């Protein structure tokens, strides 16, 4: 049975909870706000299925991408609303046009992040934009399997560990499933996000942009608007306390420091990321409005990408990852992390709000290299 003795060895993908035939596993929040599985030993029948489908206990070998591209959606409004080049929307719209279902991360009514599915192009708006919080998967692996067995086409997007969790949960290949991993710096604590948002004491929130590109793709901001679409809070990324803690790796889940799914281990069909360094590799594709980095990792992903009428140029993988280390390498665990959480236990959210800005040159380098 699943027993988490070292929290570095659980990514919180929820696969074990959904797969258990006795429904004897449930997720519980720890003191840092991350969810971990707990087993009801009275119900457990020792089938070990939870262990067999755990992506941390059953890591795949790394695999190389087939080909890589710099790409932008030709719809400028979609690109404006997206974290980078708006390519996810282009892919998702095609799946929906073919009668499919799309899974992704969105905010709920309390501005917490969870996974959901949509079947309309209008519904895709909720999935656009970065959400720097670990999303709650819920029962979306079960839902995905149900749609697949009905011969519906399914697009499932998520962090590499979530895609790995889904693939291990399914335990077989489905021709009607397309998976997209979104390259991840690491997932911050939902509890810290919840308490930070409460500390702002804002009313009538209509939208939250963790990555507002109105100030530029590279110089983006953290912005909150009200229901009348008026800005009620905004800070540049380098000044925002929540994002400060994120880029310094203080609030990330422990498993992010030894990710079980990077470098092709997730077996995602397609990889999407911000194309940091585009100005050095394909300058003509850089307008500081956001460019996507795409990798097709399977023949299925390759065939799907070829169908799109988007601005796209093939690039060299090795040159590209020089500016995108999060594609293949786990984030480093800082020595200050323990100090931060010790402070949080005593002071609560004040531990976050009291963070000081680092020297400008250091912070710029951290954001440029690591911020996803």
Domain ranges of the chain: 67-187+252-327, 190-250+334-364
Is 362's pLDDT higher than 50?
Answer: no
Q: What's the token pair of residue 256? A: 């992010």
Is 344's pLDDT higher than 50?
Answer: yes
Dihedral sign for Cα atoms in the order 146, 271, 85, 218: positive
- Contact between 177 and 143 (Cβ < 8 Å): no
Helix-helix angle 160-170:140-149, to 10 degrees: 50
- Contact between 101 and 155 (Cβ < 8 Å): yes
Give the side-chain half-sphere CA count within 13 A for 239.
9
Give the model's pLDDT for residue 359: 64
Give the model's pLDDT for residue 366: 52
Give the model's pLDDT for residue 360: 54
Is 365's pLDDT higher than 80?
Answer: no
- Contact between 128 and 157 (Cβ < 8 Å): no
Q: Span 147-158, mean pLDDT?
A: 98
Backbone φ, ψ for residue 142 (5° rounding): -60, -45
Mean pLDDT of the chain: 94
Is 43's pLDDT higher than 70?
Answer: yes
Give the model's pLDDT for residue 170: 98
* Spatial distance between the Cα atoms of 273 and 276, rounded to a whole number of angstroms: 9
Give the model's pLDDT for residue 49: 97
Q: Span 18-47, mean pLDDT?
A: 97
Residue found by looking up tokens 């400060």 in the block:
244
Estimate to the nearest angstrom the gap between the alpha carbon of 306 and the chain centroid.
24
**Residue 127 binned pLDDT confidence (cut-offs 50, 70, 90):** very high
Q: Span 1-25, mean pLDDT?
A: 95
Share of the chain above pLDDT 70, in %: 96
Q: For the chain, how big is the Rg over CA atoms in Å?
A: 20
State pLDDT tens for residues 277-302: 999 999 999 999 999 999 999 999 99
> Which carries the bigger pLDDT value, residue 310 or residue 352?
352
3-class secondary-structure state, position 211: strand
**Residue 371 binned pLDDT confidence (cut-offs 50, 70, 90):** very low
- Return the number of other C-beta atoms located less than 10 Å from residue 249's C-beta: 21
pTM as predicted = 0.94
């Amino acid at each position: 049975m699943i027993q988490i003795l070292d929290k570095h060895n659980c990514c919180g993908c929820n696969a074990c909870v959904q797969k258990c035939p006795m429904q004897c596993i449930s997720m519980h929040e720890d003191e840092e706000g991350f969810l971990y599985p707990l087993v009801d030993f009275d119900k457990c029948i020792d089938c070990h299925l939870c262990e067999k489908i755990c992506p941390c206990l059953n890591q795949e070998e790394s695999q190389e991408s087939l080909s890589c591209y710099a790409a932008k959606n030709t719809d400028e409004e979609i690109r404006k609303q997206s974290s980078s080049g708006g390519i996810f929307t282009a892919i998702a719209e095609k799946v929906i046009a073919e009668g499919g279902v799309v899974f992704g991360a969105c905010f709920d009514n309390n501005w917490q992040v969870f996974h959901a599915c949509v079947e309309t192009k209008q519904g895709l708006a909720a999935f656009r934009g970065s959400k720097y919080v670990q999303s709650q998967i819920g029962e979306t692996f079960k839902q995905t399997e149900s749609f697949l067995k009905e011969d519906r086409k399914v697009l499932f997007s998520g962090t590499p560990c979530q895609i790995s969790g889904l693939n291990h949960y399914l335990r077989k290949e489905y021709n009607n499933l397309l998976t997209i991993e979104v390259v991840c710096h690491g997932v911050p604590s939902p509890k810290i996000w919840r308490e930070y948002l409460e500390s702002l004491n804002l009313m009538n929130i209509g939208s939250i942009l963790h990555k507002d590109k109105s100030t530029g793709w590279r110089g983006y901001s953290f912005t909150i608007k009200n229901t009348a679409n008026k800005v009620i809070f905004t800070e540049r990324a380098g000044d925002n306390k929540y994002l400060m803690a994120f880029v310094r790796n203080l609030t990330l889940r422990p498993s992010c420091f030894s990710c079980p799914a990077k470098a092709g281990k997730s077996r995602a069909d397609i990889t999407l990321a911000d194309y940091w360094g585009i100005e050095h590799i394909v300058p003509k594709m850089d307008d500081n409005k956001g460019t996507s980095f795409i990798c097709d990792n399977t023949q299925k992903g390759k065939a799907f990408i070829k169908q799109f009428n988007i601005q796209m140029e093939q690039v060299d993988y090795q040159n590209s990852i020089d500016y995108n280390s999060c594609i293949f390498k786990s984030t480093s665990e800082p020595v200050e992390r323990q100090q931060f959480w010790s402070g949080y236990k005593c002071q609560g959210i004040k531990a976050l709000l009291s963070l000081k800005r680092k020297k400008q040159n250091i912070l710029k380098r951290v954001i440029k290299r690591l911020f996803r």
